[in-house]
Amino acid sequence: MTDQNLFTPYTLGNLTLSNRVVLAPLTRNRAGQGFVPSEFAATYYSQRASAGLLISEASQISQQGQGYQDTPGIYTPAQIDGWRKVTDAVHAKGGRIFLQLWHVGRVSHVDLQANGAAPVAPSALRPATKVFVNNRFEDVSEPRALDIDELPGIVNDFRLAAANAIAAGFDGVEIHGANGYLLDQFLKDGANVRTDAYGSSIENRARLLLEVTAAVVEEVGAERTGLRISPVSPANGVSSSAPQAQFDYLVDQLNALDIVYLHVVEGATGGPRDVAPFDFGSLRQRFKNTYIANNGYDLNLATSRLAEDQADLIAFGRPFIGNPDLVERLKTGSPLSAFNPATLYGGGAAGYIDYPTLAESSAR
């Protein structure tokens, strides 16, 4: 047992976090014209700046990387300027914030792609999943397999997006390698049936994610680079026949790149923690830097996992939507407010920046 708890400071690379609570990435589909962050985004994130670390909603690294309507990007000057308003607001509150870098791969729709092009994937396998497009959920479009000559361009898109994030004032970036999106598709043999250097073996399936990570580290520094993974989550139709071997290998390779943290979805994303057998303790023991635990955490589970040294930081997702002061509520044992599902995706200020804090509630 250790004496660390959720509310003690923590050193993450070159940053000092005020506590061990992390705001997990939460897609809210509120970007404006040009996929610039919402006019309300600076308020939304600054309201939650009491978390030790904020990780932004996933932000596409290119138009090809987009899979849902009204999600923000990080590949144009206007998007950089829009995100700068967010980082300035968070830093003014003493917060720290990383931007999550996203390429959805096959989890997309032709109406979101340039000239109605097919979404891209490691293999031309269409998952049984839906995306939010045209103001409703629709089946994903038939993808095409990426040519091996296209992969360096995707690596470079991640590199440039990371540089743009730093230019926008973020403290670092998180590479999205989870939840059935492009890099996770390459990792898992249920989505990747390639027979070239990016498929057919554990080492080859990890190649693209490792190349992306190395490029981002080279661009912005290892101390500003994190990675999110979801070893056994079936999100967006992915599966792995040997997840333990695949992800143990991946983590061993990541150590050589010295990235600052590993953000792990333990179980099914937003679902059961025991969806499939997996030893997350193996990842914790193998990875030499900060381990962020995610999925279904409440105060009791977070407290026990920290006390057992099974994690360094704990990520909370949806509880932060209706509770901008979640840290204070957890610290004082105060009740949590529910969020309105009808305003989860899309819209404006309602259900986004109008959830009251405890102090505001008591003043009404």
Q: Which CATH number fits domain 10-363: 3.40.50.12780, 3.20.20.70, 3.40.190.150, 2.40.50.100?
A: 3.20.20.70
| 161 phi and psi angles, rounded to 5 deg | -65, -40
Name the β-bridge partners of 177: 229
Q: Is the dihedral of CA 199, 201, 207, 210 positive or negative?
A: positive
Find where tokens 């044992």 sit: 333
> Which residues are annotated as catalytic?
181
For residue 153, the SS3 value is helix
Task: Give me the amino acid identity at 59.
Answer: S
Q: What is the mean pLDDT of each run of 10 residues along the chain (364 residues)?
A: 77 98 98 97 98 98 98 98 98 98 98 98 98 95 98 98 99 98 98 98 98 98 98 98 98 98 97 95 98 97 96 98 97 95 95 94 72
Cα 142 from Cα 125, distance rounded (Å): 8
CB 54, CB 45: distance < 8 Å = yes
Cα 41 from Cα 30, distance rounded (Å): 8
> pLDDT of 219-252, one tens digit each?
999 999 999 999 999 999 999 999 999 999 999 9
Question: What residue ranges do the domains of the chain occupy?
Answer: 10-363
What is the predicted pLDDT for the residue at 163?
99
Q: What is the DSSP string of 75-130?
A: SSHHHHHHHHHHHHHHHHTT--EEEEEE--TTS--GGGSGGGPPPEESSS---S-E
- Token readout for 359 is 């102090």
Q: In what helix (H) or strand (E) does residue 135 lie, and over which residues does it extend?
A: none
Cα 249 from Cα 11, distance rounded (Å): 26
> pLDDT of 109-161, one tens digit each?
999 999 999 999 999 999 999 999 999 999 999 999 999 999 999 999 999 99
Cα 137 from Cα 158, distance rounded (Å): 27
